[in-house]
A and B are shown apart, each in its own frame.
Chain A
């Protein structure tokens, strides 16, 4: 179920996993996503909470520390794998796009 769910990643999913290469908490993730995307990707706190919960249940991230209400997470090898798969998928899309556009330019 979870595997099927995360076969492709949405933009918020991609950036959350990307942010968790280094241990950080939810508020840090929101700040990092905003900085990485220059505010292009909105990440609501409700959405972030649910995604962190789903990633954790799917074994893609793990909780590293709990300080009061603050919880920190880190990506797991499974999460890293999902991130890389998504990266390769996006690359393939880019390559396909380039190939099509260059073909059109030559003709």
Chain B
């Protein structure tokens, strides 16, 4: 039987009643709080008892202090004289317990308690909530813009974008609610105090929402992994797991640094500076190292790792893959001695995107290439959004810097498509076409313009299966 257990607690810092009731209930079940982390709390097994817990606040408390401040020590001395033993700190909250049912409560003046809580909240909870909210709003701004403006192509262009945008937005909503919740609680408590009452109880609402958000975040992360695996993005799923593991390791190492500096009795400022330096170095070393490793290994450079050889200064496949919907040999009817094929699996569950690229060389002639990307929007509005994304430059009349690209409609008949557009640069046509069928959009680029027969073959092979 284990003597310790860890629990994820979703209590909020100013919910002193919630903390007291929860800890008393845990003690009645035979678990006593030993250490309170940010959300992970450690309990030790003990005889079930009717232990009373009480929370008071000390705005001078900090996890960076080398030990309890003189003020905290005086508070502990007073509490001990009244029969209360210190359990641990939880940021500015000071948690005490007693087995004496007659011990005088820690706080006997509700107005002072409210004032004290607000002082502590201003020290830590409120600034960190505002900073977190700002970061989340910044990180989700493009997601939010796409959502508000209806430009949903960007929203669905990748599972990662969809997942991270939703996550940042969720955290932003939680932080807005947290701030609103605190100020509403404070306002209601002040009103209650003016009427001769006490600080108002918080109720389980915030805790439930916090817990629901945690569960939702876990479900979203799981869904993201599933969608990536389903869409063939095993590399991205693995990258996500590795990235999360590195973040957890980073948090762990940063906390260990703070704890080590505390043990070494470093002053608060030295501890903050040391922790910050270690945090920045580790963040660069871990995430930067991961990014460097990925670039070096070519992790995301197409599916598979084909063996290659060099000819005429270019790389060619030893055994070219054969899973392309259409190859250059099939399109031109020629045999090529040297072939290089790549497949990029991107997009999201709602908008799968697969890019195929092939370059080929025959004899001493110059190389030819074929490049096509296929989108399969899962609903009609998304199909419109993909087309809008490519066609939006057509109606643009503002100032231009550099070359101006646009797609101009053409007859879709040779392709057997519903709509066809050719790409132009400053009025001159390029060998790139945008083709559309219900549930499928493709952009195809070739070195030479295709013949009518080739257009038809491209339409049949790359268009939807009939």
Contacts and interface: CB of A to CB of B under 8 A. Distances in A.
Interface of A: 10, 12, 26-27, 30, 42-51, 53, 66, 69-71
B79 to A, nearest CB: 4
Main secondary structure of the interface of A (DSSP, over half): helix
Contacts of B82: 30, 44-45
Contact of A71 (B74, B79, B108): B74
A12 B105 CA distance: 14
A47 B81 contact: no
A47 B104 CA distance: 11
B329 interface: no
A54 B104 CA distance: 21
Interface in B39-56: 54, 56
B84 interface: yes
Given A10-B109, A44-B106, A26 B78 contact: yes
B107 interface: yes
Nearest to B83: A45
Given A30-B81, A46-B79, A47-B112, A69 B106 contact: no
A46 B73 CA distance: 12
A47 B108 contact: yes
Interface in B89-115: 104-109, 112-113
A43 B81 contact: no
A44 B74 contact: no
Contacts of A47: 106-109, 112-113
B108 A27 contact: no
Contacts of B73: 69
B451 interface: no
Contacts of A69: 73-74, 76-77
Which 5 residue pairs are nearest across A and B when measured between Cβ atoms? A46-B56, A45-B78, A46-B106, A44-B108, A27-B81
A43 B71 CA distance: 18
A53 B71 contact: yes
Contacts of A46: 54, 56, 75, 78-79, 106-107, 113, 116
B74 A42 contact: no
A27 to B, nearest CB: 4
A12 B56 CA distance: 17
Contacts of A51: 109, 112
B112 A27 contact: no
Given A69-B73, A69-B76, 14 more contacts: A10-B109, A26-B77, A30-B78, A43-B108, A44-B82, A44-B109, A45-B82, A46-B75, A46-B107, A47-B107, A47-B108, A48-B78, A51-B109, A70-B77
A27 B77 CA distance: 8
A71 B108 CA distance: 21
Q: Taking each of A50, A53, A70, which has the highest tally of chain B beta carbons within 10 Å of its own beta carbon? A: A50
Q: Taking each of B71, B74, B76, B78, which has the highest tally of chain A beta carbons within 10 Å of its own beta carbon? A: B78
A44 B81 contact: no
